[in-house]
Amino acid sequence: MKDPLLVATDGGAEAAHALQFAAAYATTDDIPVEVVSVVAPLSDLPMPLPHRDELEHAHAQGVADAVRRHVRDIVGPVAWPVHVSIGRPAPAICTTARKRSARL
């Protein structure tokens, strides 16, 4: 299997353009595409939360669902895997890219 093209998205307009590019690029070179989004940890909030881990997991699942809808709305029905990480965006995206051996 070829190394994937990893597209980071926050659901915004710039991400929509990146998804369109990824779809076109993947089609011309037959490259698999994977999508990543990052959720800020709830530990960044200035107050302690009960059940923080469960809340973070539920929030990440909601973000994953929203990203899947965003991808479907922008490029149509594709079977691209969606990875949602909890953390700071840049390091989390880089970590996912290394784990997935992303080519771009």
Token pair, residue 42, equals 């709830």
Predicted local distance difference test score (pLDDT) of residue 46? 66
Give dist(CA 104, CA 40) in Å, integer.
24
Predicted local distance difference test score (pLDDT) of residue 34? 94
Q: What is the DSSP string of 71-100?
A: HHHHH-S----EEEEES-HHHHHHHHHHHT
* Eight-class DSSP state of 39: E
Mean pLDDT calculated for residue range 18-32: 89
User: How far out from the chain centre does Cα 68 lie?
Assistant: 9
Predicted local distance difference test score (pLDDT) of residue 28? 85
Predicted local distance difference test score (pLDDT) of residue 41? 82
Identify whether the C-beta of residue 41 lies closer than 8 Å to the C-beta of residue 85.
no
Q: What is the pLDDT of residues 45-83, one digit of tens each?
A: 666 767 777 888 888 899 899 999 999 999 999 999 999
